[in-house]
A and B are shown apart, each in its own frame.
Chain A
Amino acid sequence: MDNANTDLLPRNPTTGEVLPPRAQPGYYPGYSTLSQQRFWDAATHEVVLRRVHQAQPIRFFTPDEARLMEAVCARIIPQDDRDEAHRIPIVGPIDERLASGRIDGYRYEDMPPDGEAHKLGLQAIEAIAQHLFHTPFLQLGAGQQERVLKTIHDGEPPAGEGIWRRMSAPRYWMLLVQDCVAAYYAHPYAWDEIGFGGPAYPRGYMRGGQPEPWEVEERRYEWEAPEWAVSSEYEPLGRGHETITPGQGGSH
């Protein structure tokens, strides 16, 4: 492991030791949803396996945009604690959604269509990077990149005015984060990380809060984000003074 990389890694808060990248971060060592795939129905099997095995070519973003988007998504959902072989593609699924024009059924009246919003957002991120550090976002260190993004999270982007007149910063933030988490937590590796059961038909569950025979008990370990990380602190969106944008996931 070279030094540049260890900077990006989480640490053990007690010993300060760097935690090397793992195939499977999280508290469920040895747990694998994919190992259960022969118990899944055919339709589900196909959908999940396609997600795991098919790398999508970038169609919506230009190569420059795609590079910038990769760097942005790498901070929205950092994966430095995962070894290369077990990283979860984020930009691919977002690009695929935008290229095929798939939307969630609505658009805020103060927002452009999703694809345009993403492109404008990247321009704004670049403008903020220049404004704060006089350096392109791609060349910033991870901590500086986080500080650029944090200004949007806080609803106080210091540059890109023209863009923020065309779209709302908090809504762009939600669009960006939602697209990233929707890609990451759709992946079986992420399910293994968080101990989610994954597809469960036709087998079902029997044991409530207890693990099923094929699930594993939680085994926690201490870790903390790298020192430079501002994203490890929880702060309200828009610093709390914006009327909070209502949530958009369906749960009831």
Chain B
Amino acid sequence: MKSPLFGKFEEPEDDEHWLGPIQRLKTPMRRFAPGDEVDIVIVGVGSAGGVLLQRLARAGFRVVGIEAGPFWDTERDWVSDEAGSHQLYWNDLRITGGAHPLAFGANNSGRGVGGGSVHWAAFTPRFHPSDFRVYSEDGVGADWPISYQDLKPYYELLEREMPVAGPAYFPWGDPHGYPYGPHPLGGPAEALVKGCTALGIPVCQGGPVAINSGSHGDRPHCIYRGFCIQGCKVGAKQSTLISHVPDAIEYGAEIRANSMVARVNLGKDGLVTGVTYFDEDGHEQEQRAKVVIVSGYAIETPRLLLNSACNGFEQGLANSSGVVGKYLMAQAGNVVMGRFDDPVRMYKYPPANALTEEFYETDPRRGFARGFAIQTVGPLPIAFAKQMMVAKGAWGWGMRAVMMDYNHWAALGLLGEILPWEDNRVELAEETDRYGLRVAKSTFNLHDNDQKMIAYGVNKVEEVLRAAGATEVVQEPRYAHLIGGARMGNDPSTSVVDGFCRSHDIPNLFVCDGSVFPTQGSANPGLTIQALAARTADYLIAEREAILTRQPRSMRGVEAGAPPIHYDLSPHGTSGRGVPRLKSRTPTPEIGLGGLPVGSKG
């Protein structure tokens, strides 16, 4: 084989900003003048922040996203290499404690435009309807102030915008189909499918995953290189960086990268006035705005609110309830590994490749509330060696020996619902970061229900691997996906924001990201985070008058019901794509334009 499948490989020219091998960012980006008051400032351009920015810019708001990390050029900044991808994660110091301390960094948070969607595996299952009523149904956790039906239209929109590949019929929760076809199976997926089938467990193959199974606009399909968690240079895997940010910029949004927001400022009238941040050169700046949305994720969002304590909010901004930082969650993410006689070569194919949600719902016979999913993972060598250090106690010659067998192992992940507990929390530590801001300290303890669920779940995954033919099965306990820390609810004394992500305390302060989830289900959170961002944008659009006339107190509350859904704000070329039955309800201008792919216009 003489040449790569893409043909001759081009290198970027000086003035080009690459977002995958085909898509280019059209420069220049709009720059608001210093001192300008904008309509909306978003703290953190990650999964939620990227979608918010795009929606709000398209709807005509003057909007700025301030992002602590870089504005990635996928060709220059990302590498097809495990160790070389270190800078994609939030690596600044956090202190971690409790009986079951969480690991951060590569384990759960991103930094840079796209946030965690840059390094996510891109599994995109929806939450189940029951997830929104955990307290009512099981007497544990909490209920959401919104229901599955409230989010469903946004799931459908985002599944097309990302877009999601998966089966035509997904049987769990609210059954539905996916716009793009499922992916072929890699080694771990074959093991999961084989094991589940042998045990009579229904299993879903080839998705749901936000990875192109066919080319989509100016984004190629997956080349099965397996480096999803290192950032997809191919542009096949969705990140808001490549799916929503280009559209946001085209519609006049500004992103200030490498800029760390230090605090949200409160005016005398009890409304927020904007944010103070450190710019690229480390200089302190202020950005005034009519509305502030904090989208910094489960650790940084509570940290920012706590660091923004001021007169009237001594225990943290928007924290009259005392709930900011509390009810932090992570999913049980135990990695269970099986050794097979035949080679598996799990470095190929996306790690997110097959799953089962058969154990998702509460089953009283199991002796614990709620449940878990089983999903494929595909650790590359360094991650696998670290897993073997824990799973087998490997080191020295034993490490060398088990690693020589790397190609014989398949890894599956438990994804279990740990419940929200008040003592699992984010607080401020005494230490400060390079900006002089106090860093976050997290405390995490497993409770009885969590431990029972993990023991049962790990056992089940082990059974599946054995049924698939594994001759040896070992496991590493760990956690995945942060959630909570600024939860939503109807009661201002027990929650931070309402069902529209608006803070109970301050009418023009919003929190919209993974931190607002009251519970986490056994589904990966990313799709729900992005769907919730689209819904929050629709609320802000519905309240445009109140925002632009600086009357945030007159914004409607949750009793007014859901905002109208905008089907016409999707990025170019995404509306109405995929299988016909998922077409937009309302035809959109994009379809009228002949469904031109992103970036091909003009």
Contacts and interface: CB of A to CB of B under 8 A. Distances in A.
Contact of A249 (B106, B375, B481): B106
Given A40-B80, A201-B80, A103 B382 contact: no
A200 B227 contact: yes
Nearest to B88: A250
Which of B80, B104, B333, B404 has the most chain A CB atoms inside 10 A of its CB?
Answer: B80
B400 A77 contact: yes
Contacts of B397: 10, 78, 225-226, 229, 231-232
Nearest to A239: B393
B185 A194 contact: no
A75 interface: yes
A94 B11 CA distance: 32
A186 B75 CA distance: 21
Contacts of B524: 252
B93 interface: yes
B223 A105 contact: no
Contacts of A237: 389-390, 393
Interface in A189-247: 190-191, 193-197, 199-211, 213-214, 218, 225-226, 229-237, 243-247
A182 interface: yes
B79 interface: yes
Interface in B204-259: 223-227, 229, 233-234
Interface residues on A, range: 35 or more
Interface residues of B, number: 106
Contacts of A205: 223-226, 348-349
A99 interface: no
Contact of A39 (B4, B94, B385): B4
Contact of A229 (B229, B396, B403): B396
B77 interface: yes
Which of B79, B343, B479 has the most chain A CB atoms inside 10 A of its CB?
Answer: B79
Interface of B: 1, 4-6, 9, 11, 21, 75-84, 86, 89-97, 99-109, 119, 121, 123, 184-187, 190, 223-227, 229, 233-234, 333, 335, 342-345, 347-349, 351-352, 375, 377-387, 389-404, 406-407, 411, 413, 415, 441, 476-481, 524
Nearest to A28: B407
Contacts of A199: 79-81
Nearest to A97: B86
Interface of A: 10, 25-27, 39-44, 47-48, 51, 75-78, 81, 102-110, 146, 149, 153, 174, 177-178, 181-182, 184-186, 190-191, 193-197, 199-211, 213-214, 218, 225-226, 229-237, 243-252
B109 A105 contact: yes
Contacts of A81: 400
12 contacts: A25-B404, A81-B400, A196-B381, A202-B6, A205-B223, A208-B187, A209-B342, A230-B396, A232-B401, A251-B411, A252-B413, A252-B481
B106 A201 contact: no
A131 to B, nearest CB: 21
A77 B381 CA distance: 14
Contacts of B5: 202-204
Contacts of A204: 4-5, 223-225, 234
B79 A197 contact: no
A8 B150 CA distance: 66
A237 B343 CA distance: 28
Given A203-B5, A249-B379, A196 B342 contact: no
Which of A105, A203, A250 has the most chain B CB atoms inside 10 A of its CB?
Answer: A250
B432 to A, nearest CB: 14
B381 A105 contact: no
B236 to A, nearest CB: 10
Given A202-B9, A247-B335, A252-B351, A185 B385 contact: yes
Nearest to A191: B381
A185 B476 CA distance: 19
A176 B412 CA distance: 26
B79 A44 contact: yes
Contacts of A186: 81-84, 382
Contact of A231 (B226, B375, B395, B441): B395
A202 B21 contact: yes
A243 B105 contact: no
B66 to A, nearest CB: 20
A40 B401 CA distance: 29
Contact of A182 (B78, B186, B382, B415): B382
Contact of A48 (B81, B234, B347, B394): B81
A192 B343 CA distance: 15
A184 B75 CA distance: 26
Given A186-B382, A201-B225, A251-B229, A106 B343 contact: no
Contacts of A181: 382, 385-386, 389, 399
B599 to A, nearest CB: 19
B351 A202 contact: no
Contacts of A252: 121, 123, 333, 351-352, 375, 377, 413, 415, 480-481, 524
Contacts of A184: 385
B396 A251 contact: no
B387 A249 contact: yes
Nearest to A10: B397
B426 to A, nearest CB: 12
B103 A246 contact: yes
A51 B79 CA distance: 13
Which of B99, B398, B413 has the most chain A CB atoms inside 10 A of its CB?
Answer: B398
Contact of A208 (B89, B185, B400): B185
Given A75-B396, A249-B383, A251-B411, A208 B1 contact: no
B400 A78 contact: yes
A204 B226 CA distance: 9
B433 to A, nearest CB: 11
B383 A251 contact: yes
B4 A195 contact: no
B403 A194 contact: yes
Given A203-B5, A252-B413, A190 B381 contact: yes
A243 B99 contact: yes
Contacts of B81: 44, 47-48, 186, 199
A146 B395 CA distance: 10
What 9 pairs across the A-B complex have the smallest Cβ distances? A231-B396, A204-B223, A105-B105, A109-B97, A225-B397, A250-B106, A186-B83, A200-B225, A181-B385
B75 A234 contact: no
